[in-house]
Amino acid sequence: MTQKSTIEEIRTRFDNDVERFSNLDTGQVSTIDATISLELITEAAKRIEPAATHLLDVGCGAGNYTLKMLQKLPGLNCTLVDLSRPMLDKAFERVSQQTNGIVKTVQGDIREVFLPENHFDIILAGAVLHHLRDDEDWEITFRKLYSLLKPGGCLMISDLVIQETTAISEYTWERYGDYLESISGKDYRRKVLEYVDKEDSPRSVTYQMELMKKVGFRSTDILHKNMCFAAFGGIK
């Protein structure tokens, strides 16, 4: 297995890619059904917490997920967390224009930053958790996210995932490679798959939903899955 990227390497890459990630059409072209998953997790969050006042966007990037949430629940107080300061600055600029609520930015790793417990109605985690590494990383992060939610609040995830069965996983990655090649040719396929191998360490939907139950979530649901991308969540 390729030596995985460090947190600092990931931060640096996103520092240099703000404009591309400010647009769903360019920032998530390699993500299957990106716009569908974005719609589903925000609509589900609205229906679970229609009176929500506080939103946390983990790994917010340039703010796309929060902006979509604000279309459904205007006026939210928004806390944006990301490793990259340029990403946070861009997200703050964009989100502040769309809400009269308080917008806060927090630079750092979600596992380490201080945030108030039992405070957020909705937590969005879009294309971020696949950067976690070992089982301890995953459990620490899910316990942290659970602790930040108010009772009845929801964690909504849209992310890269793997399969539980090796044969199915191999087939899925082959299909995903074909999808990438159909977008921009063989070189693009190679580039994206090499990037995933270097930077990402996704887990299956089953693993994550079982972990959510382990740390205390009372219910979980799968909203959408297409090959190696899924949208799902849990309620505290």
Query: What tens digit of pLDDT does each residue of 34-62 get?
Result: 999 999 999 999 999 999 999 999 999 99
Please check the confidence at residue 222 and state whether its pLDDT lies above 70: yes
- For the domain made up of 7-163+201-229, the CATH class stated in words is alpha beta
DSSP codes, 189-223: HHHHHHHHHHH-----HHHHHHHHHHHT-SEEEEE
pLDDT-based confidence at residue 150 (cuts at 50, 70, 90):
very high
Query: What tens digit of pLDDT does each residue of 1-24 get?
Result: 458 888 888 888 777 777 766 666
CA angle 161, 157, 123 (to 5 degrees): 155
Tell me what the mean pLDDT of segment 107-111 comes to.
Answer: 95
Which residue, chain included where needed, has tokens 């979600």?
110
